[in-house]
Amino acid sequence: MGTTLADVAAHAGVSVQTVSNALNNPGLLKRSTLDRVLAAVDDLDYSPNLQARRLRQQTVATIGLRIDPLTENVAASLLDRFLHELTARADAQGRHVLLFTAVDDEEEVRKIRELASQRVADRFLLTSTHLGDARVTSLLDEGLPFAAFGRPWGAAREHNWVDVDGAAGTRAATDALLDAGHRRIGFLGWPAGSGSGDDRRRGWAEAMAERLGVGGDALDALTARCQDRVADALVAAGPLLERGVTALVCASDSLATGGIGAASQLGIRLPVIGFDNTSLAAGLGFPSVDQSLGEVATAALAAIDAQPGAVTTIVRPHLVRRDDARWGIAPAADRGPSPS
């Protein structure tokens, strides 16, 4: 049984690479070539080393990603949009994206282990990172290659991640409104204490402090908070609007939609800027901060191949301006401040 790949190649009259392709990527070969190689394998009774083949086959170049059951949460569609960008960019590298589901983080880790050992996927991407995320530690301990979309909120062992600079996004939105002459710019956000929620408020707060000298209690008076639901935002935005804000920066498109609805009920037209640039923003035609998901996908593909901790990328989001005067929410820069 001393037969080698080179013996088979010589017998078949092809290169060693061609024999390797025949065993691992038969689809790359012409039918006649494949048949010739397989005949040589039979003639020489060649037995490819199982372990070696397993190792070679680990280059299946498939990226496993968990997706959760549908919710009516509008923000959930952000991951769907990311999926399009990731698939397109992975495809360009000859890689594929493989979807699976899990009921919780523990099951996700278990399935990643399974997919890796079955060689169905060889890289993994975590999303929806959160405080005290145990997935990172488990995957690092088991040496499973992964990257996270979402920074570690709180202490975590070194690993690769890519995230979007939420503060830079709301800063850009607030700057656009300030440039257009607005001064009483409200912020509609989530309850304090969530990593990304606090990050998004910070960009607005810093712009207001640096450019207008507004801080502390004055900022609190310009802030309203609620859960990420349109109906809740409809209620939460009311008092803010009654306090005479002339524009709103929001932590999400759901909140922005509620803000627009609340303004409409009060007969007020004012610019409202959302975050995530979901189909709500596109459909209703209001401006929104876009997470630059194409760049996130490119960075994630780089991070996924690097040594743990070698790649941490912060992507800069950008403001998508929309001027749909029919909804009364054109970007302030183009229309000037509305009467409050």
**What is the identity of the amino acid at 214?**
V
CB of 337: closest distance to a second copy in angstroms? Answer: 23
* Closest distance to a second copy from the beta carbon of 131 (Å): 25
Provide, rounded to whole angstroms, the least separation between the CB of residue 64 and a second copy. Answer: 8
Tokens read off for 313:
């990328």
Minimum distance from residue 263 beta carbon to a second copy (Å): 12
Q: Which of 99, 192 has the CB closer to a second copy?
A: 99
Sequence-separated (6 or more) residues with CB below 8 Å from residue 195: 130, 131, 151, 153, 154
Residue ranges in 266-313 assigned as alpha helix (H): 279-284, 293-303
Residue 79 beta carbon to a second copy: minimum distance, rounded to whole angstroms: 9
Report the b/e string of 227-247 with b at 16+ CB within 10 A. ebbbeebbebbbebbeeebbb
Q: Which is nearer to a second copy, 169 or 258 (CB)?
A: 258
**3-state per-residue secondary structure call for 256-275:** HHHHHHHHHHCCCCCCEEEE
CB of 335 to a second copy, least distance (A): 17
Q: Would you say 134 or 231 has its CB closer to a second copy?
A: 231
Do residues 205 and 167 make contact, with C-beta atoms less than 8 angstroms apart? no
- Rg of the chain over CA atoms, in angstroms? 26
Strand intervals (E) in the chain: 62-66, 96-100, 123-126, 146-149, 161-164, 185-189, 223-225, 247-250, 272-275, 288-290, 312-315, 318-320
Nearer Cβ to a second copy (27/213): 27
The CA-based angle 286-278-270, given to 5 degrees, is 20
317, 291 Cβ separation under 8 angstroms:
yes
Contact set with a second copy (CB under 8 A): 1, 23, 25-28, 38, 41, 45-47, 50-51, 54, 60, 62, 67-70, 72, 74, 77, 80-81, 83-85, 87-88, 91, 96-101, 113-120, 230-231, 234, 253-254, 257, 261, 264-265, 278-280, 282-285, 324, 326-327
Minimum CB separation from a second copy for residue 98, in Å? 5
Which residue, among 302, 15, 335, 24, has the nearest Cα to 162 in the 3D structure?
302
Smaller CB separation from a second copy, 114 or 158: 114
Task: State which residue, 179 or 324, has the beta carbon closest to a second copy.
Answer: 324
Q: Are 64 and 121 in contact (CB under 8 A)?
A: yes
Helix or strand holding residue 97 (H, E): strand 96-100
User: How far, in Å, CA of 222 to CA of 86, rounded?
Assistant: 37
**With respect to a second copy, which residue has the nearer C-beta, 72 or 217?**
72
In this complex, which beta carbon is closest to a second copy, that of residue 64 or of residue 271? 64
In whole angstroms, the minimum distance from the beta carbon of 101 to a second copy comes to 5
